[in-house]
Structure 1
Amino acid sequence: MTVLGMIKPMMLGFGIATLLTGCASTPPPTLPNAYYDNFIQGLVAADRCGLSGQVTPDASLWEKRRLTHNLNTWTYDRAYFESRFQAAVLTLPAPPVAVCNQVAMEAAEYKQTVQENNAAVEANARAWNQVQYTQPVHTYCNKIGAQTLCNSY
């Protein structure tokens, strides 16, 4: 076997190993048991503050969206979370005004962050499209008999 013949299988093996390890990602960390109550209390408070009219429905929804987004950065037992959540809905008292004010502030901050990120993504997409469409176009034509063939890139 030639040196070139030996390199091809080695490169193929290296490429496969790179693909396999490059695509592997670590799972999110496991949610500590103490954090379950924090998320559940926040979700219940956001819901109750919105239902009582202490915050707008929009703020209530944005706060629940924020909490759910943060919760989904963890690995957690969904059935356990849901059962704890259902129990909390039945037992937790109505949140005080200060908690509802905190819900409104956190919701507004999260909404602003999401809108800023969306605007940045949109601006980057527009800039990329601008670069793509303003690149010079080169056209080459060849005449073969009575026919002209042109290619542009």
Structure 2
Amino acid sequence: MIDEMFEVIGQPISVEKVMNKVRRRDCGAITTFIGTVREWTGEKRTMRLEYQAYAPMAVKKMAEIAEEVEEKWPGAETAITHRTGTLEISDIAVVIAVSCPHRKEAYEANAYVMERMKEMVPIWKKEYWEDGTEWVGDQLETKPYPEGKPERRT
């Protein structure tokens, strides 16, 4: 079942396919998060991104996150697909779908999944800007806001 619910793939992601993995008769809500490649990060213009992953470990960590979700929100079902390779502006990089009996729990669980993905799943991205490139992906890496508050860099 792990291979059905969690994937790292090298082609475009079907949002409907990921969502259908968690569709159940006993759940009244399905939330989806669709992460796309944005053109601007602050003052830097992104031209494209390149994602790499240690896929077997990434899938294992995604399954662990789903177990955490089920413990925190009983009855929740989670599916995650992340894309690798070169992605252009507006391409879909990740789709997270969570179903729950009620909508509030589905929203909360979906947000939780994305934060845990950033913390523990071995996926890295290379940002291509107009003036250079940089690999980003240390799951605990942070950079300061001008006000000094931490911001995760993924």
**What TM-score results when the alignment is normalised by the length of structure 2?**
0.22
**Higher CA-based Rg:** 1
For CA contacts below 8 A with separation 6 or more, give which structure has more relative contact order.
2
Higher share in strand: 2
Normalized per residue, the structure richer in helix is 1
